[in-house]
Amino acid sequence: MKSTHPTPMLGLYIHIPFCKRKCDYCDFYSVAEDGALMDRYITALCAHLKETAPFAKHHVVDTVYVGGGTPTLLGAKRLVVVLKTVQKYYALSKDVEITIEANPDSAQDFRMLRSLRRAGCNRISLGMQSAHDSELEAVGRIHTMAQVTTAVEAIRKAKIKNLSLDLIYGLPNQTPDQWQQSLAAAVALKPQHLSCYGLKLEENTPLFNRRDTLTLPDEEVQAKLYLDTVSYLAAAGYGQYEISNFAQESHRSRHNMKYWTLGEYAGFGPSAHSDFGDVRYGYVRDIEGYIQGVLGDGDFVSETTHLTESDRDTEYLMLGLRTVEGIDGKVFERRFRRNFNCFLPFLTQCNEAGYVVEDQGRWYLTPQGFLVSNQIIGGLLDVLSEDKLRRADAKARGDYRIIP
């Protein structure tokens, strides 16, 4: 008899930790490009993909995301080996989304991109960041706007139809007009998807270390840049679906949606994280440690947390509020067997302040709300902790009227 149980879906994240040069603001794990190290890494990565596959034998992989670092630095040959390994050992859905991240300077050759498309890649996420060479240079990016244009042409010529562009607002010396020009230049390239991130000064990065010498927009200007972005992109046909992400109809990043909707994903590579089989785990931020661990017998897992469904209530609130779908009282109660009513006074206050909207039991942030999402999420988590304490107290007293 055929099982009626739905097949669980899985996303794969594959980290490629190589960059030509480190950008001044970046704290992702990556090392300098080195052909011999790349070859050893691909051997380890493919061995790891193969040995993990039996744990995913009941899953169908519906998204693969090759991120970095700069995956396209590997060149077509190595990337095709990785994609073929995935296809050989995992069951992929017919409409699997396979994204590869690229930087403009390493995505100039349409033949390389065509090889990737033939090996299954159907989406490119390109790090454009700005249309102004001076802004790119100010944060240590090594490409130019002319290379962005050539890369987009090469992607189109290679017949990869789904394109996402990454942009950063709030760059040093950037004026609101310049940001507007970057946005317009990005839209003119007709991508299906745009990610717009506010510049963050991450500790221990070169940009952080010279923060006192930088001219950065203050909080008010940064907020205006964000709100202008949301309305400009909406008018250009890009609906916001997450704090920093915008897409044309049916082109949301299915892989990233997994992170925000508590879907399962398995990561590979140094610093990659997974949420798979009720375990959250991560690998060391050290390429040699990772290679040794996979091919030898070293330990390359850096953290492991076992989770039950009820442990996920916090994440449901935190991640759900990042998306325009928000959080749903009924879903919360059904999934976590907890009462949603405790949140209502706080959410009502946020609603009156214009930060939150309620629609048939679903609560989601407005663009103004996204600007203060950390405070709103923090407020909800405080309510959740207080409620848990109150219930634990009641249980200790033997008062079962308010449990669960």
Q: What does the binding site for ligand SF4 look like in residue numbers (CB under 6 A)?
A: 19, 22-23, 26, 28, 30, 68-70, 103, 127
How does 88-101 read in b/e, with b if 16+ C-beta sit within 10 Å? ebbbbeeebbbbbb
Least distance in Å: CB of 327 to ligand SF4? 31
> Which two three-digit tokens encode residue 24?
């001044």
Q: Return the number of the residue (11 or 17) whose C-beta is nearest ligand SF4.
A: 17
Least distance in Å: CB of 167 to ligand SF4? 13
Which single residue brings its beta carbon nearest to ligand SF4? 26
Q: Return the number of the residue (30 or 240) whose C-beta is nearest ligand SF4.
A: 30
**End-to-end Cα separation, the chain, in angstroms:** 38
How does 102-139 read in b/e, with b if 16+ C-beta sit within 10 Å? bbbbbbbbbebbbbbbebbbbbbbbbbbbbbeebbebb
Across 212-361, the runs of DSSP E, i.e. the strands, are 239-242, 245-247, 265-268, 273-276, 279-283, 301-306, 327-328, 356-359
CA 101 to CA 334: how far, in whole Å?
A: 37
Specify whether the CB–CB gap between 163 and 101 falls below 8 A: no
Q: Return the number of the residue (19 or 380) whose C-beta is nearest ligand SF4.
A: 19
Least distance in Å: CB of 85 to ligand SF4? 23
Specify whether the CB–CB gap between 282 and 271 falls below 8 A: yes
Least distance in Å: CB of 40 to ligand SF4? 20
Least distance in Å: CB of 29 to ligand SF4? 9
CA 327 to CA 337: how far, in whole Å?
A: 15
Give the β-pairing of 60-68 and 9-16. Answer: parallel
Q: Return the number of the residue (186 or 376) whose C-beta is nearest ligand SF4.
A: 186
Strand partners, 123: 99, 162
Q: Return the number of the residue (16 or 154) whose C-beta is nearest ligand SF4.
A: 16
> Which two three-digit tokens encode residue 15?
């980290």
Strand partners, 64: 12, 98
Q: Return the number of the residue (22 or 335) whose C-beta is nearest ligand SF4.
A: 22
Least distance in Å: CB of 101 to ligand SF4? 8
Least distance in Å: CB of 202 to ligand SF4? 10
Q: Return the number of the residue (53 or 199) whose C-beta is nearest ligand SF4.
A: 199
Least distance in Å: CB of 24 to ligand SF4? 9
H, E, C per residue of 84-148: HHHHHHCCEEEEEEEEEEECHHHCCCHHHHHHHHHCCCCEEEEEEECCCHHHHHHCCCCCCHHHH
The type of residue at 363 is W
Least distance in Å: CB of 54 to ligand SF4? 31
Q: Return the number of the residue (23 or 199) whose C-beta is nearest ligand SF4.
A: 23
Specify whether the CB–CB gap between 282 and 293 falls below 8 A: no
Q: Return the number of the residue (10 or 23) whose C-beta is nearest ligand SF4.
A: 23
